[in-house]
Every structure is written in structure tokens, then in C-alpha cells.
């Protein structure tokens, strides 16, 4: 009951999804669409559970007065305001949209733009053309970056004006992306895909059971 | 510009500068923005998943069934009950019940992955790799195009060889995998270059916001 039923459910849903994908019959297509809607219904419950866990974690921090516990109140404030306004009035509400446009969106963009500094700092420390492979990586990265922006074009043209490759950095970037980069990417995609398929078969057949966790 | 738009710009500018302040060192402004970001993002995710998942696919069909408009909505009670089993996690005695919804989600994910990955990632990528040879056979591909097609096949085979651990990498296999590493380095270099440029574009966009929308220094 505790382990066998989940294995059976996993098998049934897995096999059902494979068969319905290959069968054009109307019943098969109805099952396919129904199961997809089931997953879209079950998904939000998992998100709510994750939120409950987040609340528990921050409640514990506040109760125990751990270092910087005051900021847990900020988490609660942000969460509560978004959920109350969003659920009460809907995501099209003007206050909800104002919060999204002026609070979440700027912070999201700023957080990701911070990586520009960290990547630049890491690259300065780690990029050393010591081997042939490292040089390839370095040269490719430089060409791709320069080919992306007008300033890169200008610098490239200034340095390479004497050579037949002047004014060609954008074309070089595109050629790298479309040929050697794509072939490496295809190799990785093919390898990963074969791994995904074999792992999926193991899960459906109940060979891989780690998702059940420990215990009975 | 109306009052709330102006307040919005000041709030966004304050949060942007608070996050950038971490570049100097960790400080209360950054911690405030960081925690606010977590709370607001989670809240936004919940609202969207409820409005785009639960309400259209469960609540509305169920209400329609209760009001007698359609009987098929009652079937939605099954996924709702399965979803509620997630909360068994909060009771130590009934934690094992969480395996039911997880098993369904994992079974669904595995089942849908097999045909989709087969078609999109294996058949299509293989077809894309060897398709230019039809043009070579027909004599419609230029000399440079032929070189690119051959380079593509060599790159894919060598990259796959590098990840093939069922045989020891000695002799020809070793050299194939060495060529594979070269292709992989070009791939990683391209990914790195594109990532850096993507982040720099975001940085430029934030600086543009601060200088034009907030400070009105540039227009």
C-alpha cells in the first residue's frame, strides 16, 4: 500500500502517456488532454506545500531569533501582499500589476544582471590560455562577445584592419554558432536524450525508486 | 506622469540600487531586497499557478458540474484529492501518502518525455545532422556547404565519442574524443560568450532605467 500503489500509479500514468502520444484515436486524445489537465491541477498543490515549508523555515528563524531574523518578516510581507491581492482581485488587477512591474520585475532583472559582474570576475581569474583547449574556449568566447555588439565590431575592425578578416567578426560569430557550436550541442543533446529515455524507462518499470524516499 | 508611476519608479530605483550595493559588501539594504524578492516571487508564482492551472482546469469545471451545466466536471475531484495528499507531508504519521501525487507526476513526466525526447531531440537532431548530405548527393550544395556538412558530422560523432565510456579511450577512440573535446570547448566558449552578453544586456537595461527613467539624465 505504501510503496506498491505509488509504483503502480507511476507505471499506469507513464504507459498511458506513451500510448496516448502515439495513438490518434479520439478516446486516446481525450485521455491525453485529461491527464495534462490533472497535472496542471496537482502542480499548484505542490507549490502551496513548498510555500508552507518556506513559512515554517522563516517562522522557526523568527521564533529562535537567529541572526538576521528580522528579514524573515520581509519575506512574509512580500508573500502576503502578493498572495492576498493576487488571489482576491486576480493577476489582471492594477495593484498586482504595479507590484509586478515596479517590485518583482526590476529585482528579477537586477539579480540576473549581477551575474555579469561575477562572470567577469571569475573569467578574469580563471581564463588562462595555458592549453590548446583553454585557448579555443577563450578565443570562441571573445569572438562571440565581440560579434554581438557594435562596439565589438569597432574594436575588431580597428585591430584587424590590416587582415582579410576585417569587418567579419559578426559573420565569424554566426559561423561558429551555426557549425562547431551546433555540432557540440547536438552531441550533448543526443547523449542527454538517450540518458533521459533510459532513466524514464527505469522509472516507469519501477527499477528506479529513489523518488519514493526512505522508510516503509 | 501620474503619482503611482512616479512612486513605482522610485521604488524600482531603490530596490535596484539596494541589490547592486552587494557589489561593495553584504549590507542591510541588500538583505532587505533579497528577502523581499523571495517573498514577492513566491507569491507571484502561487497566484499565477492558481489562476492559470487550478481555476480554469479544476474549479470552473467543478462549479459547472455542481450547477448542472456539465457532469464531466466531477472527475476533477480526483486530481484535487490527489493534490491535497501533498499536505500529508505535514503529518509525520501520514507522510507516506505524499508518494501518490509524486508518483503520478513522475510517471506522467517520464511517460511524456519518452516520445517527445525521441522525436524532438533524437530524430530531429539526427535528421538535421545528415540532411545536408541529400543536397550533396543531388549536387546542389556548394563546396563550402559540403565542408560545413562534413564538419557537423565529425563534430557530433567526436562529441558523442568523448561521452562514450563503454570502451577505454585508447588509440583511434582517444583521438576522436580529443577532437570531441575541441568541439566541446568551442561550444562552451559560445555558451559563455552568449551568457555574458545576455547578462550585460540586462545590466545596460538597468543602468538605462536609472539614468533615463529615474534621474532623467539621458533621454
3-state SS string for B152-183:
HHHHHHHHHHHCCCCCCCCCHHHHHHHHHHHH
Q: Is A161 helix (H, G, I), strand (E, B) or coil?
A: coil
Is B11 in contact with A51 (Cβ distance < 8 A)? no
Q: Which three cell numbers stand for residue A113?
A: 544582471
- CB distance A84 to B75 below 8 Å: no
B81 touches chain A (CB under 8 A): no
> Would you say residue B23 lies in a domain?
no
Closest CA to A19 of A6, A35, A7: A35
> Would you say residue B18 lies in a domain?
no
Q: Which three cell numbers stand for residue A192?
A: 542527454
> Would you say residue B106 lies in a domain?
no
Is B186 in contact with A148 (Cβ distance < 8 A)? no
**B101-117 burial string, b = 16+ CB within 10 Å, else e?**
bbbbbbbbbbbbbbbeb
Cα gap A193→A182, rounded to integer Å: 16
Closest CA to B106 of A18, A203, A197, A208: A203
Is B40 in contact with A9 (Cβ distance < 8 A)? no
> Would you say residue B31 lies in a domain?
no
> Would you say residue B179 lies in a domain?
yes
Provide the shortest C-alpha distance from residue B79 to chain A (in Å): 5
Q: How many residues are present in chain B?
A: 219
Name the residue in chain B with its Cα closest to that of A80: B43
Q: Which three cell numbers stand for residue A158?
A: 580597428
Provide the shortest C-alpha distance from residue A153 to chain B (in Å): 14
Please state, in angstroms and as integers, the Cα–Cα distance from residue A153 to each residue in A30, A178, B10, B50, B169, following that order. 54, 19, 36, 47, 41
- CB distance A177 to B197 below 8 Å: no
Is B108 in contact with A39 (Cβ distance < 8 A)? yes
pLDDT in tens, chain A (216 residues): 788 999 999 999 999 999 998 888 999 999 999 989 998 899 889 999 999 999 999 999 999 999 999 999 999 999 999 999 999 999 999 999 999 999 999 999 999 999 888 888 888 887 788 899 999 999 999 999 988 888 888 888 888 778 777 778 888 899 999 999 999 999 999 999 999 999 999 999 999 999 888 776
> Would you say residue B154 lies in a domain?
yes
Of the candidates B58, B89, B112, the beta carbon closest to that of A17 is on: B112
Residues of A in Cβ contact (< 8 Å) with B26: none
Q: What local confidence, expressed as pLDDT, does residue B178 receive?
A: 96
Of the candidates A11, A113, A149, the beta carbon closest to that of B107 is on: A11
Residues of B in Cβ contact (< 8 Å) with A137: 185-186, 188-189, 192
> Which domain covers residue B210, as residue numbers?
132-219
Provide the shortest C-alpha distance from residue A59 to chain B (in Å): 13
Q: What local confidence, expressed as pLDDT, does residue A126 receive?
A: 79
- B125-174 pLDDT, tens digit per residue, is 999 999 999 999 998 889 999 999 999 999 999 999 999 999 999 999 99
| Parts of chain B with a pLDDT under 70 | none
Is A14 in contact with B40 (Cβ distance < 8 A)? no
Q: B-contacting residues of A 138-157, CB under 8 Å? A: 138-145, 148-149
Q: Torsion over CA of B57, B60, B65 and B68, rounded to 10 degrees?
A: -150
Q: How many residues are present in chain A?
A: 216
- Reported as type and span, the H/E element at residue A169 is helix A169-178
The position carrying cell 515549508 is A53
**Interchain CB contacts (distance < 8 Å): A and B:** 390
Name the residue in chain B with its Cα closest to that of A205: B107
At a CB cut-off of 8 Å and minimum separation 6, what does B179 contact?
A: B154, B158
Provide the shortest C-alpha distance from residue A60 to chain B (in Å): 15
> Would you say residue B93 lies in a domain?
no
Q: B-contacting residues of A 99-138, CB under 8 Å? A: 99-117, 119-120, 123, 132-134, 136-138
Closest CA to A144 of A121, A163, A170: A170
B6 touches chain A (CB under 8 A): no
Cα gap B54→A39, rounded to integer Å: 10
- CB distance A137 to B189 below 8 Å: yes
Q: How many domains does chain B have?
A: 1
> Would you say residue B177 lies in a domain?
yes
Of the candidates B20, B115, B155, the beta carbon closest to that of A110 is on: B20
Cα gap B130→B102, rounded to integer Å: 40
Residues of A in Cβ contact (< 8 Å) with B60: none
DSSP secondary structure of chain B: --HHHHHHHHHHHHHHHHHHGGGT---HHHHHHHHHHHHHHHHHHHHHHIIIIIIIIIIHHHHHHHTTS-SGGGGGHHHHHHHHGGGGGGSGGGGGGGHHHHHHHHHHHHHHHHHHHIIIIIIHHHHHHHTHHHHHHHT-S-HHHHHHHHHHHHHHHHHHHHT--SS---THHHHHHHHHHHHHHHHHHHHHHHHHHHHHHHHHHHHHIIIIIIS-S--
Q: What ipTM, to 2 d.p.?
A: 0.86
Q: What local confidence, expressed as pLDDT, does residue A155 receive?
A: 85
Q: What share of chain A is helix, strand, coil (3-state, %, to 5)?
A: 80, 0, 20
Closest CA to B109 of A210, A199, A2: A199
Among B27, B94, B106, B154, the residue to mutate for chain A (most A Cβ within 10 A): B106
Q: What local confidence, expressed as pLDDT, does residue B86 receive?
A: 93
Q: What local confidence, expressed as pLDDT, does residue B219 receive?
A: 72
Is B43 in contact with A6 (Cβ distance < 8 A)? no
Cα gap A193→A187, rounded to integer Å: 10
Cα gap B125→A186, rounded to integer Å: 6
Residues of B in Cβ contact (< 8 Å) with A49: 86-87, 89
DSSP state of A168: -
Cα gap B59→A9, rounded to integer Å: 24
Amino acid at each position: 500500500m505504501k510503496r506498491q500503489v505509488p509504483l503502480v500509479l507511476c507505471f499506469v500514468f507513464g504507459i498511458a502517456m506513451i500510448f496516448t502520444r502515439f495513438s490518434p484515436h479520439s478516446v486516446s486524445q481525450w485521455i491525453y488532454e485529461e491527464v495534462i489537465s490533472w497535472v496542471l491541477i496537482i502542480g499548484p498543490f505542490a507549490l502551496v506545500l513548498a510555500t508552507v515549508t518556506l513559512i515554517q523555515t522563516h517562522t522557526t528563524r523568527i521564533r529562535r531569533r537567529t541572526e538576521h531574523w528580522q528579514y524573515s518578516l520581509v519575506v512574509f510581507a512580500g508573500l502576503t501582499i502578493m498572495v492576498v491581492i493576487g488571489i482576491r482581485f486576480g493577476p489582471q488587477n492594477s495593484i498586482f500589476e504595479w507590484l509586478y512591474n515596479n517590485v518583482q520585475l526590476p529585482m528579477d532583472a537586477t539579480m540576473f544582471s549581477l551575474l555579469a559582474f561575477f562572470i567577469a570576475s571569475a573569467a578574469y581569474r580563471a581564463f588562462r590560455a595555458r592549453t590548446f583547449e583553454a585557448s579555443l574556449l577563450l578565443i570562441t568566447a571573445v569572438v562571440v562577445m565581440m560579434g554581438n555588439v557594435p562596439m565589438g565590431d569597432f574594436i575588431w575592425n580597428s585591430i584587424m584592419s590590416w587582415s582579410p578578416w576585417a569587418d567579419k567578426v559578426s559573420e565569424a560569430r554566426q559561423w561558429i554558432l551555426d557549425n562547431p557550436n551546433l555540432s557540440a550541442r547536438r552531441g550533448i543533446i543526443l547523449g542527454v536524450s538517450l540518458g533521459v529515455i533510459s532513466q524514464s524507462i527505469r522509472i516507469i518499470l519501477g527499477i528506479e525508486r529513489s523518488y519514493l524516499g526512505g522508510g516503509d | 506622469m501620474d503619482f503611482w508611476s512616479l512612486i513605482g519608479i522610485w521604488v524600482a530605483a531603490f530596490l535596484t540600487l539596494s541589490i547592486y550595493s552587494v557589489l561593495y559588501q553584504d549590507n542591510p539594504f541588500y538583505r532587505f531586497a533579497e528577502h523581499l524578492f523571495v517573498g514577492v516571487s513566491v507569491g507571484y508564482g502561487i497566484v499565477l499557478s492558481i489562476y492559470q492551472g487550478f481555476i480554469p482546469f479544476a474549479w470552473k469545471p467543478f462549479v459547472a458540474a455542481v450547477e448542472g451545466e456539465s457532469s464531466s466536471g466531477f472527475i476533477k475531484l480526483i486530481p484535487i484529492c490527489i493534490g491535497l495528499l501533498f499536505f500529508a507531508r505535514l503529518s509525520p504519521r501520514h507522510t507516506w501518502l505524499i508518494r501518490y501525487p509524486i508518483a503520478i507526476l513522475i510517471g506522467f513526466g517520464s511517460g511524456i518525455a519518452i516520445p517527445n525526447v525521441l522525436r524532438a531531440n533524437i530524430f530531429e537532431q539526427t535528421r538535421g545532422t545528415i540532411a545536408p548530405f541529400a543536397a550533396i548527393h543531388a549536387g546542389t550544395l556548394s563546396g563550402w556547404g559540403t565542408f560545413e556538412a562534413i564538419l557537423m558530422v565529425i563534430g557530433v560523432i567526436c562529441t558523442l565519442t568523448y561521452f562514450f565510456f563503454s570502451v577505454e579511450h585508447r588509440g583511434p577512440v582517444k583521438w576522436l574524443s580529443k577532437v570531441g573535446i575541441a568541439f566541446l570547448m568551442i561550444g562552451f566558449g559560445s555558451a559563455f560568450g552568449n551568457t555574458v552578453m545576455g547578462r550585460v544586456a540586462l545590466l545596460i537595461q538597468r543602468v538605462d532605467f536609472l539614468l533615463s527613467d529615474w534621474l532623467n539624465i539621458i533621454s
